[in-house]
C-alpha cells in the first residue's frame, strides 16, 4: 500500500508551478470565491423554472462549475447519461472532471477519481475511436499516470499516432508532448515544428467562423494554442485569436482556469505582438486578481 501511495504522489507532482508549454493543471482554480449561500440560491432559482430535466441539468452543471462543485458536476453528468445514454462527449466530460478531482484531492482516495477518469475515456473511445478531445486527454493521462495506477505509455503512443491521422494539429501536439516528457529532443522538436507549421497553414485568424473550427475540439484547446504560442513566441497572432475566441465563447462559463493565468497569457501574447500598452493593462489585471501570482510578477519586472 505504501508503494501504491508513493507512485500516486509522483503522478500528482508531475505538474509543477513552473511555466511549461504543456502542463496547465496547476492553473485550474478549484475553489470558488463565492459562498455556499449564494450557490444554494442560484441552484434553488434554477429549480423554479419550467423546463425539461435535461435543460435543468445543463444549467445546473454551469452553476456547479462556476462554484467549483465538481462532485456535483459528476453526479449531474451521470444523471444526464442515465437519461440520454452514453455518448463520447458526455463520457469525455465525465472523465475530465474526475481527472481534475484526482489532481485536486492529492490523497490516496483520489485513486477512485483517477480510475473513473481512465474508465470514462476508454468507454468514450469504444463508442468513437476517433473522438478528438478524448484521444487528446487519454493520451496525456496514459502517458503521465504511473503504470501501477493504469498508465500505459505504449498505448498512449499508439493513440497519438491515431490522433495524428485524424487531426494533425492535435496529433502533432500530443506527439510533441510525449517526446518532451521522455526527453527525446530531436523528435520533440520535429513534432513541435510540425505543429507550428500546421497551425500556420490553418490561418485561424482569417476564418469567418472560429466556432466551426473549434466545434469538434476540446473546450480548452484554444487555451493550449495560446499557451504554447506564448511560451515559444511563435504564431502569436494565432495564439491571440484562439484566446480571444475562448474568452468570448459561451463555453467560457465553464472555464476552470484561474483568470490571473488567462490574463497573463493574453498579456504575454499582446506584448509579443508589439502592443506594450495593452500588455501592461492585462498584466495589471492579472495581479489585481492575485498579487502573488509569480508568473505575472516576473513578467512585469522583466518587461516594464
Q: What is the CATH number of domain 86-202?
A: 1.25.40.920
Per residue in 248-297, pLDDT tens? 987 676 788 999 999 999 999 999 999 999 999 999 999 999 999 999 99
Beta bridge partners of 257: 28
C-alpha closest to that of 165 among 134, 190, 130: 130
Question: What per-residue confidence (pLDDT) applies to 109?
Answer: 65
Whole-structure pTM value: 0.89
Instruction: Kindly report the number of other CB atoms within 10 A of residue 231's CB atom.
Output: 15
Arithmetic mean of pLDDT over the chain: 89
Domain boundary assignment for the chain:
31-83, 86-202, 212-304
CATH 3.30.160 assigned to 212-304: no
Question: What per-residue confidence (pLDDT) applies to 34?
Answer: 64
Residue 16 has pLDDT above 80, yes or no: no
Asked whether the domain spanning 212-304 has the same topology as the one spanning 86-202, the reply is yes
Rounded distance between C-alpha atoms, residue 22 and residue 48, angstroms: 43
Question: What per-residue confidence (pLDDT) applies to 18?
Answer: 67
Question: What per-residue confidence (pLDDT) applies to 106?
Answer: 63
Mean pLDDT, range 210-229, rounded to an integer: 91
Per residue in 103-131, pLDDT tens? 876 666 688 999 999 999 999 999 999 99
Question: What per-residue confidence (pLDDT) applies to 14?
Answer: 42
Amino acid at each position: 500500500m505504501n508503494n501504491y501511495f508513493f507512485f500516486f504522489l509522483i503522478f500528482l507532482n508531475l505538474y509543477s508551478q513552473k511555466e511549461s508549454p504543456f502542463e496547465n493543471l496547476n492553473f485550474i482554480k478549484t475553489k470558488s470565491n463565492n459562498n455556499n449561500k449564494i450557490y444554494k440560491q442560484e441552484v434553488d432559482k434554477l429549480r423554479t423554472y419550467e423546463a425539461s430535466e435535461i435543460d435543468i441539468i445543463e444549467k445546473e452543471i454551469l452553476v456547479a462549475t462556476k462554484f467549483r462543485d465538481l462532485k456535483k458536476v459528476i453526479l449531474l453528468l451521470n444523471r444526464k447519461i442515465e437519461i440520454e445514454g452514453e455518448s463520447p462527449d458526455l463520457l469525455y466530460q465525465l472523465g475530465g472532471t474526475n481527472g481534475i478531482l484526482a489532481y485536486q484531492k492529492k490523497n490516496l482516495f483520489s485513486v477512485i477519481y483517477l480510475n473513473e477518469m481512465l474508465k470514462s475515456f476508454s468507454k468514450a473511445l469504444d463508442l468513437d475511436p476517433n473522438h478528438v478531445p478524448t484521444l487528446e486527454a487519454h493520451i496525456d493521462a496514459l502517458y503521465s499516470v504511473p503504470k501501477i495506477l493504469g498508465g500505459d505509455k505504449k498505448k498512449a503512443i499508439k493513440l497519438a499516432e491515431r490522433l495524428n491521422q485524424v487531426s494533425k494539429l492535435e496529433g502533432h501536439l500530443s506527439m510533441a508532448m510525449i517526446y518532451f516528457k521522455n526527453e527525446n529532443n530531436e523528435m520533440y522538436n520535429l513534432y513541435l515544428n510540425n505543429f507550428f507549421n500546421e497551425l500556420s497553414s490553418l490561418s485561424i485568424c482569417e476564418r469567418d467562423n472560429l466556432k466551426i473550427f473549434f466545434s469538434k475540439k476540446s473546450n480548452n484547446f484554444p487555451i493550449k494554442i495560446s499557451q504554447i504560442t506564448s511560451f515559444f513566441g511563435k504564431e502569436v497572432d494565432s495564439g491571440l485569436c484562439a484566446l480571444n475566441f475562448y474568452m468570448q465563447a459561451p463555453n467560457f462559463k465553464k472555464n476552470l482556469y484561474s483568470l490571473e493565468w488567462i490574463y497573463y497569457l493574453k498579456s504575454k501574447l499582446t506584448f509579443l505582438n508589439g502592443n506594450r500598452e495593452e500588455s501592461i493593462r492585462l498584466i495589471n489585471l492579472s495581479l489585481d486578481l492575485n498579487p502573488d501570482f509569480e508568473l505575472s510578477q516576473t513578467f512585469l519586472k522583466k518587461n516594464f
